[in-house]
Structure formats: structure tokens, C-alpha cells
Amino acid sequence: LNLAKSLLEDPDLLLLDDPNNYLDIVSLRWLRGFLRKWKRTLLLVTHDREFMDSVTTHTLAVHRKKLRKFRGDTAKAWNQIFTEEEMHEKTRVNSERKIAQEMRFVERFRAKARRASQAQSRLKQIAKRDRLEKLDEISTLSFSFNHTPNAGKWATETRSLEFNYKDGPTLISGLELHVGTGDRVGVIGPNGKGKSTLLRLLAGELKPVAGEVRYHPSTVHSLFGQSAMEILQDSRTIEEEINSANTMLTKTRVRDICGAMMFGGDLALKTIEILSGGEKSRTLLGRVLARPANLLLLDEPTNHLDMASTEAFIDAINAFAGTVVLVTHVESVLRETCNRLVIFDEGKVRVFEGNYDDFLRRHGWSSELEERARAVRKKGGNRKDQRRERAQLIEERSRQLKPLRDEMQRNENFIDALGEKSKQTETQLIDASQQGNAHEISSLSLQLKNLQDSSEKAFQKLEEATNEHDRIQADFDARLAEEE
């Protein structure tokens, strides 16, 4: 309601603090389209990197207790920060090495009359020198789900599944879902339509009104969701709560999981009753990590995760050898993890064989299709104007993408050339080593290092150009879709 009021007020400065936490996937897609057309100033706080990059021109990063502004998307901002910190660390190490050398000189000659004054002078110079501090390591969540093998080719399935709460509307009717071992199933749709209910049915927390849920005999599931929060006991510590999920774990392993959830040291001794919502969510994730499973049932697991933690979560899902059924409103999570979908839309639930982009391309959300139809009717069906606008968008897309494609090609060619040169240098280095030519070994080793450094820089430039290309491509694809 507050979001709607803010948008209707048409302010000069629109401040949005984590709107993603309260909107479903369909509403988020509408909001993204709205913000792309917003002509005034927008300041957006969100942990959804894809959403942020699609609507912003600059990035404000809160990093090491400082606020910095960057032109471009989040990838550009973090690449610049990474490059600066890498240079800081190299400079610091070189500086400390020189200081250590000078201190050895001081220690060696300060007691000798001829060199004592010189040693004292160097000591004063060292004391005056500004020394760079070693940057603290920034902790983030790390994930590694505990997999137990599944002997079958399938994990779970529903047959003619039907469900409604008492005196409520039918949420699920006639659902036939077969989940094979290793499947990544995304459950998507507007809020309140039955997504979380489906996960609770699969977990056995709810009983179907009709039909059945079946499991392979070797299936072991683990549930993350709002209903699972109820099992957390206020009097327990975080460490005790995670250990209760798997009492076979050693204390060291339990502490490792606590640390992975950013509860290192004495933080693991905090009791559940004093935790924030985000901390409780991380504790529940810790329980999921502790429990061996081959079927993960995850209901909006990234709600309380920042960008880095969300990416770590995606990596862990992709590395998990078991099966995943996942409810999420984050499109990037869907794109990077799920190969099948269960879709709640138009008051129905159906299984879609394909990924999220396939669904958007072949079907799309009913509300968006209706909105496009209204837009066409409002324009009076002037197809000529629409074709002209579409052609202009395609031309502008090509204009912006061409220099990036050229840069990508240049870097790829340069990397290939450096690779060939490195191979030749390595061969020469082997020959020099066999001949015992010390001078040649030193020279070729330096050449090889320079080639490797150049290759690393070229890869970084290629990655930056690719990220920018993909961002612009996605932006124009979305705008072209709106014109359809």
C-alpha cells in the first residue's frame, strides 16, 4: 500500500527500500517496467542484482563503512573495487618488504660507529612513512548442502493432487507432477495462490484433500520456509538449534556451519529469542545445511540474503547432487538454477517443461499479455507507428552493442595470441632448464609472467565488456517485449 501511494504521488525523488521483499514475481516485473520509464530521480535499495541493474544508471556501494558512487551497473562497481583493493594489497606487500629490508640494515649497523648515524636516519624515515593497513577479509555466507544419495530415478511425485484450506478456495486442482532425481523445479506465481502450500504438501506438513503425494523409498527431504520457522525454540542457542538438526555432527562441524551462516565465535551462543528475522532465517538455513538430504524444499530462501550471499546460494544449489524444488520471486535465481517450472497463474496450476526464459518466450504471464493487448487497443491499432518504434529500438540496440562486441572480439583475439606466445615461451623455458642456462631461464620466466599478467588483464576487460553487453541486451529485449 505504501509503495502504491509513493508511486501515485509522482515525487521528484523516489526512495525505494527493498521493494522486492513485499512483491511477487508478476508485481516485480510490472515495477521494473514502471521504473525504467521513470524520468525523475530514483534511489533504490535492493539485494536483487538483476533488478537493480535493469533500472539504474549508477551504483552506490556501501563498502568498508564508506559510501561510493559508480557510473554503470553493480558488476562495474565491484570490479573497480576489486581492482583497487588488489592494487592496495600489492602496494602494501611491496612497501612492507622494503621496510623489512631497511630494518635489517638498521639492526645490522646501528651498533657500529661508522654506520650508526646512517642507521638512525633510516629508522626515522621508516617511522615517518605512512604504512598501508592490511584490509580485513569481508565475511559472507557460504553454502554446502549435505547430500545423501538417492537410489532411484525419481524423488517425489503428485497424482491428481487437490487442496484447499477449510472454507477457502481451491488452490491446487488435478496437479500431476513427477520430480526426477537431479531436477531443479522452480515454483512461481503471484502471492497467495498456493506456492508455499505446495511445498508443505510435498514435505508432508499438509494432507491433500484429494489425490496423493508419493516419495521414492530413499528420498530424504529438508524443508526451508516460514512454517519451518516454528520449530526454532526460543531457549536454544544458534549452535544448539543447528546441532539438533543432526546430532551426529561433531562440535567442530556444527561450529563450521555456524560460521558459514555468519555466526562465528560467541555469536553462535546467542539465543533464538533475541534474533532478528534475518538471523532466524540464517539459523534455519544452517539447519538445512546440517541435515543430510537428497530433496531440498526451499520457500523463498534468498529473502534475507544480500547480493554476495545470494550468489553463494546459487552456486551451492548448482553444486548440490540431489533434487531441488524452489519457490522464489527472484528471476536471476530462477534463470541460474531451475530447468522445470510449476506455474500458478490465471487461477490454475500447471507444469512447464523448460526454463524461465522459455516460459516467458512461449507463454508469459497472463496479466502482462492483457496489458499489452490494452496498450495496442489504446494506440488504435496503429501498427505502422509500432513497427517504426520497434525498428528504432533495434537500431539503437545495434548502435550500443556493436562497440562492445568489437571490444569483446579484440580481447578474445588478444587472449588467444597471448596463449600461443605463452606456449612458445614455456617450450623455450623447458629447453633452457635442460641446458642449465640460468640467464635464459631468468629472462624467459619474466617474459612468461608478463604474458600471464597481460592475459589476466585482458580476461578482466573481456568480462567487463561481456557484462555490459548482456545488461544492455537484456534491457533492450525487455523494451522490445513491451512493444509487442
Q: Is it the case that residue 377 has pLDDT exceeding 70?
A: no
Q: Is it the case that residue 484 has pLDDT exceeding 60?
A: no
User: What distances in angstroms separate CA 330 from CA 24, 261, 333, 338, one per listed residue?
Assistant: 9, 21, 5, 12
Q: How far apart are CA 352 and CA 343, in angstroms?
A: 7
Region 429-444 average pLDDT: 82
Cross-strand bridge partners of residue 126: none
User: What distances in angstroms separate CA 415 from CA 76, 447, 464, one per listed residue?
Assistant: 21, 15, 15
CATH T-level topology, domain 154-369: Rossmann fold (3.40.50)
C-alpha cell at position 451: 604474458
The answer to which of 196-200, 310-314, 432-436 has the lowest mean pLDDT is 432-436
Q: Is it the case that residue 83 has pLDDT exceeding 80?
A: yes
User: 324 near 187, Cβ under 8 Å?
Assistant: no
Encode pLDDT of 157-177 as tens digits: 999 999 999 989 999 999 999
Helix (H, G, I), strand (E, B) or coil at 324: strand
Q: Give the per-residue pLDDT at 113.
A: 62
Q: How far apart are CA 290 and CA 222, in angstroms?
A: 10
**What secondary structure, in 3-state letters, does 20-67 show?**
HHCCCHHHHHHHHHHHHCCCCEEEEECCCHHHHHHHCCEEEEEECCEE
User: What distances in angstroms separate CA 293 from CA 259, 285, 314, 339, 415, one per listed residue?
Assistant: 21, 13, 17, 20, 43
Task: Using DSSP bridges, classify how beta strands 340-345 and 184-188 pair: parallel, antiparallel or unpaired.
Answer: parallel
Q: Give the per-residue pLDDT at 461.
A: 87
Cross-strand bridge partners of residue 342: 187, 351
Q: What is the dihedral of CA 426, 431, 435, 440, to 10 degrees?
A: -40
User: 464 near 75, Cβ under 8 Å?
Assistant: yes
User: 38 near 57, Cβ under 8 Å?
Assistant: no
Q: How far apart are CA 7 and CA 14, in angstroms?
A: 8
Question: pTM of this prediction?
Answer: 0.72
Torsional class of 37: left (φ above 0), alpha (ψ -120 to 50), beta (otherwise)? alpha
